[in-house]
Structure 1
Amino acid sequence: MKFLNRFFLIALLVSSATMVAQDKDQVIEGIINEANKNSQLEKLAHELLDVIGPRLVGTPQMKQAHDWAVKSYENWGISARNEQWGEWKGWQRGITHVDLVHPRVVTLEAMQLAWNPGTGKKGVEAGIIAIPDVANEAEFKQWLPNVKGKFVLVSMKQPTGRPDYNWEEFATEESFEKMKKERTEQTRAWREKIRKTGYNGRTIIAALEEAGAAGILQSNWSRGFGVNKIFSARTKKIPTVDVSLEDYGMLYRMVEYGDEPRIKVVAESKDLGKVPTFNTIAEIKGTEKPDEYVILSAHFDSWDGGTGATDNGTGTIMMMEVMRILKKIYPNPKRTILVGHWGSEEQGLNGSRAFVEDHPEIVKNVQALFNQDNGTGRVVNLSGQGFLHAYDYLGRWLEKVPSEITQHIETNFPGVPGGGGSDYASFVAAGAPAFSLSSLNWSYWNYTWHTNRDTYDKIVFDDVRNNVILAAILTYMASEDPERTSREKSVLPNNPRTGKQRQWPTQRKPNRKGGLD
């Protein structure tokens, strides 16, 4: 009898284990296993960031990246293409070398801005001048001829190069408050000084160039150790160089104390004229509903102060890895799975807006779109973007994601529609259910967003791998869902700033001829 009882117990345990195994979704298990045991993220990041580098729209590196992505997809057996949507001012970055040559000799940490007019290999050597505190526009115009043949300092000299968190840790409360007060007053005084010239921080550049300045020196500090934002030049013929906070402050003090500093700037770059701009599109064709789409979305371009690692190299390699895994584990999806690597997001979502405008037949049949574009962190926020019933389907899909991933995600349903910020907004404006997979900060805004420090070493691969699993499972669930997702919009709440009811964002046209006006 004991033997029989033991036999039945063993049989029951075997049966239970079999039922549990059958309950597990083999596709989901395969996704998790492939992502964890055969990840290609590091290799993709190296090829994209270390070898190709930054992907400024209109540069050869941007085209190189598009071609690399197509080849990578084809190697995985995924159909891919580069789809032209416009033209842009072509430009190629060259060497930037800035040296202080008087009153001492030292190489400075500096970088020419995007689309900067080059100096040629010989460079430009000149003295430095600062914008004075004038009484009014007339007095500024009288002073303006003084800039002829000189580099002009156009940014405020920062009172400290230490970020606030460093002050909070080490300074006395009185010292920290004093510094903040002085910085606020200095910032206000600087803005007033520029206002009295009759220009603003942007328009004054053209006036200085027209007056014969040798070049423009700026320092766009990003409130962190060693970090500056690197954007685009506004000059037509003379170099514009961003200088590190430390070196910029030194130059400014030398001018103030009458040390007559001189620098030599070599800023080699090439104007390449008009060049085509692209989106890279890849797809795994649906077997049952090929004309319905689940879209993976990440912008491909970047600013070029660093290598565009967290903005948006991480989003790019994440979506490529999701596609690779799905092709291997889920090669015959019910709906078509499409990935869009958008061009010129940084200049106004231009690539995705062009795709929405050019492909209404796809947009009207979007089951769901998942976009990632804010750093290297694990996804911690998901909004319903104002779609009334988003909870019904996103909730169902999220249930299949491992709890160690979903436990970190805060949801907001139905939420409000995003009007900009990243490419999902292009689709939301057209009424398509598009969602942002918003990530943990990892000091993104100060340290890597559009800075000279946005490089491979800032990637947290465990978090990116986490996001790959999340996006792959959501895509699989969206593809398999027997129901079409609802596009019904919620009644939007009032805007707390204006007191007026929020309006659904309107679809905007892309700029298809950037920098060519």
Structure 2
Amino acid sequence: MKRALSNNYLKFKHVNSLSLFCSAILLSFTISLSAQEKDPIVQAIVDEAYGNSQLKVLAHELLDDIGPRLVGTPQMQQAHDWAVEKYKSWGVYAENQQWGQWKGWERGITHIDMISPRVQTLKGTQLAWSPSTSAKGVTAELMILPEIRDSISFQRWLPQVKGKFVMVAMKQPTGRPDENWKEYATPESFEKMKNERETTSKTWKENIERSGYNSRSIIPVLEKAGAVGILDNYWSKGFGVDKIFGARTKKIPTVDIDLEDYTMLFRMAEHGDNPRIHIVARSKDLGVVPTLNTTASIKGTEKPDEYVILSAHFDSWDGATGATDNGTGTLVMMEAMRILKKVYPRPKRTILVGHWGSEEQGLNGSRAFVADHPDIVKNIQAVFNQDNGTGRVTSINGAGFLQSYDYLSRWLNAVPDTIRRHIETTFPGKPARGGSDNASFVAAGAPAFNLSSLSWDYGIYTWHTNRDSYDKIVFDDVQSNAVLTAILVYLASEDTSKTSREKIILPIDDKTGKPQTWPVPREPERKGGM
């Protein structure tokens, strides 16, 4: 059920434009509310956050100087080391904890050119862990998958890929996002486009499946047959945006080519223009490297064996710099920790921050922490996790803990109204089963809450894309989230009561007709990519 909190808890209200304007003016200087005036630590958190913010400095050092943080890369190691040193400069104990190993790899230069029937430099990049070309690169004609009748006809066609680049993604009918169509097209035209896209997608998928493979398993088959490279396009349904994931080849390069150029090449191949391209995709195979979590802590003075945890994954995909997934979550937790060390240096409970590795491959870092530290997990007061983008927090649910309304409401009541009024709470909520690192703790029975953010078109434009960069950060919202997190952590630490772990009775599963069960801890992948 959803409940709005009263003045003693949370209260939702509509505000007119004048009050919003006034709130913004006040926020830029200081926030002083009656609830905060009763608690000088809350006011000190607010004053430090708005008067001495380090968010832009941290963002520059992490995103501009270090860049993307793909697991197994030197940049990921550099980020871990940077975080440890940054915490130490604030007087906070920090360390890197190894929990596994991963395929080591480092991205180099990608350059893609069409050289026939005309010359044009193309936009695109190699996928993560792609094998390298030589310094001279690879030049070849490209081809698209044929119409496949069955697995036998596919095997007869397969030798034709030898010495060719093979295009393995469909030709999208449009590069305009749906919102653009909705605004400008006639309803009939919009519907026609959507039907064409749906039909093309279905036809493309079924055509590949008639080969006896799917869109993933066909790639090593093409490589084995002698293809010199794989050309892909994973359009994110926004202007100029592709999702960049990992390669599935062992010896030949795999590159994602931006939609505009990919569909041009596809049309040329369809029309018999025999386009030829030249690809230089340099990378380094670094063997096996350690995978880490970075943790930092402020030891509790009264209950040092009880823990309040700040949580955010540190790794990213590397199509861009991972600014909103999860650079912004990382910035929130680091800034909150810096503030707490300055204004609340002697917490009642131990405050611990976890910057988890390899979340993108299955919550591996946080799952490893939960498995390796049962002594901490059993004594967790609360976990606050932030992941999904740069937006201000707008939603918190009780994660299926029956009494979560009681303590979360009390803590949220001390948060400035300019922040609190945007947050919708759902109690008791449901336990997270995946998605982000809070799920690792929930599965172990620890009260772990995701601070869910306003979208800012996260799903289309920045989530795992080639556009997830510093310029997409909305620092006002990130600053708001740092204040929220620091206050919640402070009050969770100070609470005289231990949080209840009583769970709700889960409803019947519609598919099985049986009661749903609480998620259980899953083992992390400790040897990845090898």
- Normalised by the size of structure 1, how large is the TM-score? 0.95
How far the C-alpha of 1:502 sits from its partner, in A, is 2.0
How far the C-alpha of 1:494 sits from its partner, in A, is 2.8
**SS, match of residue 430 in structure 2:** coil
1:417 aligns with 2:404: no
CA–CA distance in 2 between the matches of 1:120 and 1:400? 59
CA–CA distance in 2 between the matches of 1:437 and 1:375? 10
Question: AA paired with 2:462?
Answer: T
CA–CA distance in 2 between the matches of 1:317 and 1:499? 43
**SS, match of residue 347 in structure 2:** coil
1:163 to 169, 177, 183: 177
Aligned ranges 1:57-456 → 2 under 5 Å:
57-456=71-470
1:486 to 484, 491, 500: 500
How far the C-alpha of 1:124 sits from its partner, in A, is 0.3
Decide which moves more: 189-198 or 223-232. 189-198
Structure 2: where are the runs of 5+ without partners? 1-33
Question: AA paired with 1:301?
Answer: D
Output the aligned Cα RMSD. Answer: 1.2
Of structures 1 and 2, the larger Rg is shown by 1
CA–CA distance in 1 between the matches of 2:37 and 2:263? 64
Whether the 8 Å contact between 2:35 and 2:414 is mirrored in structure 1 is no
CA–CA distance in 2 between the matches of 1:147 and 1:183? 27
How far the C-alpha of 1:184 sits from its partner, in A, is 1.0
1:34 aligns with 2:48: yes
2:67 to 53, 58, 61: 53
CA–CA distance in 2 between the matches of 1:193 and 1:88? 35
Whether the 8 Å contact between 2:309 and 2:352 is mirrored in structure 1 is yes
Structure 1: where are the runs of 5+ without partners? 1-19
How far the C-alpha of 1:496 sits from its partner, in A, is 4.8
Question: AA paired with 1:131?
Answer: L
Whether the 8 Å contact between 2:404 and 2:428 is mirrored in structure 1 is yes
Question: AA paired with 2:103?
Answer: K
**SS, match of residue 445 in structure 1:** helix
CA–CA distance in 2 between the matches of 1:218 and 1:83? 36
CA–CA distance in 2 between the matches of 1:510 and 1:296? 20
How far the C-alpha of 1:501 sits from its partner, in A, is 2.5
**SS, match of residue 144 in structure 1:** helix
**SS, match of residue 457 in structure 1:** helix
How far the C-alpha of 1:209 sits from its partner, in A, is 0.3
Aligned ranges 1:496-507 → 2 under 5 Å:
496=510, 499-507=513-521
How far the C-alpha of 1:497 sits from its partner, in A, is 5.6
- Partner of residue 6, structure 1: none
CA–CA distance in 1 between the matches of 2:492 and 2:162? 62
**SS, match of residue 152 in structure 1:** strand
Whether the 8 Å contact between 2:36 and 2:414 is mirrored in structure 1 is no
CA shift digits 1:233-265 (9 cap, x unpaired): 000000000000000000000100101100000
How far the C-alpha of 1:24 sits from its partner, in A, is 2.2
CA–CA distance in 1 between the matches of 2:350 and 2:321? 32
**SS, match of residue 491 in structure 1:** coil
CA shift digits 1:437-494 (9 cap, x unpaired): 0000000000000000000000000000010111000000000000000001110123
CA–CA distance in 1 between the matches of 2:388 and 2:456? 10
CA–CA distance in 2 between the matches of 1:164 and 1:265? 32
How far the C-alpha of 1:42 sits from its partner, in A, is 0.5
CA–CA distance in 2 between the matches of 1:496 and 1:465? 41
CA–CA distance in 2 between the matches of 1:234 and 1:22? 54
- Partner of residue 514, structure 1: 528
CA shift digits 1:247-298 (9 cap, x unpaired): 0000000100101100000000000000001000000010110000000000
- Normalised by the size of structure 2, how large is the TM-score? 0.93
Whether the 8 Å contact between 2:293 and 2:354 is mirrored in structure 1 is yes
Closer, same or farther: CA 181–277 of 1 in aligned 2, 3 Å: same
Question: AA paired with 2:184?
Answer: F
Whether the 8 Å contact between 2:100 and 2:290 is mirrored in structure 1 is yes
Question: AA paired with 2:72?
Answer: G
**SS, match of residue 318 in structure 1:** helix
How far the C-alpha of 1:21 sits from its partner, in A, is 10
Whether the 8 Å contact between 2:36 and 2:416 is mirrored in structure 1 is no
Whether the 8 Å contact between 2:70 and 2:317 is mirrored in structure 1 is yes
Residue identity (%)? 69
- Partner of residue 16, structure 1: none
CA shift digits 1:302-353 (9 cap, x unpaired): 0000100000000001100000000000000000000000000000000000
**SS, match of residue 315 in structure 1:** helix
Closer, same or farther: CA 259–288 of 1 in aligned 2, 3 Å: same
**SS, match of residue 236 in structure 2:** coil
How far the C-alpha of 1:410 sits from its partner, in A, is 0.8
CA–CA distance in 2 between the matches of 1:445 and 1:247? 23
CA shift digits 1:114-164 (9 cap, x unpaired): 000000211000000110012100000000000000000000000000000
Question: AA paired with 1:98?
Answer: I
Question: AA paired with 1:405?
Answer: I
CA–CA distance in 1 between the matches of 2:491 and 2:510? 36
CA shift digits 1:79-100 (9 cap, x unpaired): 0000000000000000000000
How far the C-alpha of 1:23 sits from its partner, in A, is 5.0
Whether the 8 Å contact between 2:36 and 2:42 is mirrored in structure 1 is no
